[in-house]
């Protein structure tokens, strides 16, 4: 197993360190969601922002087909999915996760780190306003939702090319009064924090140690991805199901060997845009909070 770990990092099979009691209690149950927003794939997807991958030809019809399969997978877990209309002139608009951080108490509206993506905010605001009270990240702060991993009442926030310290501090000032804490995480070599790691079970994260230092998550079990599948760390754990990407079969088998209900999903055309399973939806719990 050790020779299979990313960049040769050796971690013990069980890396349980002391976890605050309140945090562990929050993690003993799986994430339960009732609703989600997704958005149809844009016909201009080929013009999407790219940071770490070379630009490739896109098969738009296949991308739309794979996106529909993703929506079907969400609905199969019991989630009520609202499909927002296509934004033809906004190639990255399908990646709705980056627009907001969905909390039970409120929604933090992000300010994307790429200027080309900032118009997406105004297009999704009406839908978000029907769900929760909104708070917004303001310039010069930037925050992409893909850089925020919520585990219990802790928000791990990746400091990336898309999220800066000012955005992180604004997020912290907004959520502190609701009982959340914010933990900054340095990442390197990948787009977002959730490109490098995601939660796959209570107390367990799946990570690429080459892109993020597992020491930051010493309170949790860290399960490294196989070296051959560096992008496999992005999974979506919802309502008793762990969605994995079909492009990382060894990762899927690794998770199944740990007794997890891992189900692969083909998103190869969307992965050409540096997409992962998490970035295609905004998940939340309903009903609407009355203000």
Q: What is the pLDDT of residue 31?
A: 82
Quick check: 193 and 208 in contact, CB under 8 A?
Answer: no
Burial per residue of 24-52, b for 16 or more beta-carbon CB atoms within 10 angstroms, e otherwise: eeebeebeebebbbbbbbbebbbbbbeee
Quick check: 261 and 238 in contact, CB under 8 A?
Answer: no
Q: What is the pLDDT of residue 291?
A: 34
Q: In angstroms, rounded to a whole number, what is the distance separating the alpha carbons of residues 101 and 175?
A: 10
Q: What is the pLDDT of residue 29?
A: 55
Task: Report how far apart, in Å, the C-alpha atoms of 133 and of each of 18, 137, 141, 169, 210 are.
Answer: 35, 14, 20, 20, 38
Active-site entry in 48, 110, 190, 192: 192
Q: In angstroms, rounded to a whole number, what is the distance separating the alpha carbons of residues 5 and 223?
A: 9
Active site residue 279: yes
Quick check: 218 and 15 in contact, CB under 8 A?
Answer: yes
Instruction: Kindly report the pTM of this predicted structure.
Output: 0.88
Write down all domains in the chain, each with its CATH number in brackets: 2-284 (3.75.10.10)
**Mean per-residue pLDDT pooled into runs of 10, the chain (291 residues):** 31 30 43 95 94 90 98 98 98 98 97 96 97 97 98 96 97 98 96 97 96 89 96 97 98 97 97 96 76 34
Q: In angstroms, rounded to a whole number, what is the distance separating the alpha carbons of residues 5 and 167?
A: 33
Active-site entry in 48, 110, 190, 279: 279
Q: In angstroms, rounded to a whole number, what is the distance separating the alpha carbons of residues 123 and 119?
A: 7
């Amino acid at each position: 197993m050790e020779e299979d770990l990313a960049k040769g990092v050796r971690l013990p099979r069980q890396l349980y360190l002391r976890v605050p009691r309140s945090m562990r209690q929050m993690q003993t149950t799986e994430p339960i969601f009732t609703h989600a927003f997704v958005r149809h794939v844009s016909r201009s997807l080929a013009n999407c922002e790219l940071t770490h991958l070379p630009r490739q030809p896109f098969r738009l019809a296949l991308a739309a087909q794979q996106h529909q399969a993703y929506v079907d997978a969400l609905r199969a877990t019991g989630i009520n999915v609202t499909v927002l209309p296509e934004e033809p002139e906004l190639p990255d608009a399908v990646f709705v996760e980056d627009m907001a951080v969905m909390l039970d108490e409120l929604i933090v509206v992000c300010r994307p780190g790429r200027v080309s993506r900032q118009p997406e905010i105004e297009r999704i605001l009406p839908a978000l306003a029907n769900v929760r009270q909104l708070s917004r990240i303001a310039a010069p702060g930037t925050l992409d939702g893909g850089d925020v991993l919520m585990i219990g009442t802790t928000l791990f926030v990746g400091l990336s090319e898309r999220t800066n310290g000012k955005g992180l501090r604004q997020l912290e000032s907004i959520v502190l009064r609701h009982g959340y804490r914010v933990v900054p995480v340095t990442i390197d070599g990948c787009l977002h924090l959730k490109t490098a790691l995601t939660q796959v079970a209570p107390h367990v994260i799946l990570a690429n140690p080459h892109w993020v230092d597992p020491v930051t998550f010493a309170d949790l079990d860290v399960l490294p991805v196989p070296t051959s599948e560096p992008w496999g760390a992005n999974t979506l754990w919802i309502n008793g199901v762990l969605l994995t990407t079909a492009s990382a079969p060894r990762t899927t088998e690794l998770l199944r060997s740990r007794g997890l209900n891992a189900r692969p999903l083909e998103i190869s055309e969307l992965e050409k845009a540096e997409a992962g399973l998490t970035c295609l939806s905004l998940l939340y719990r309903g009903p609407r909070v009355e203000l």
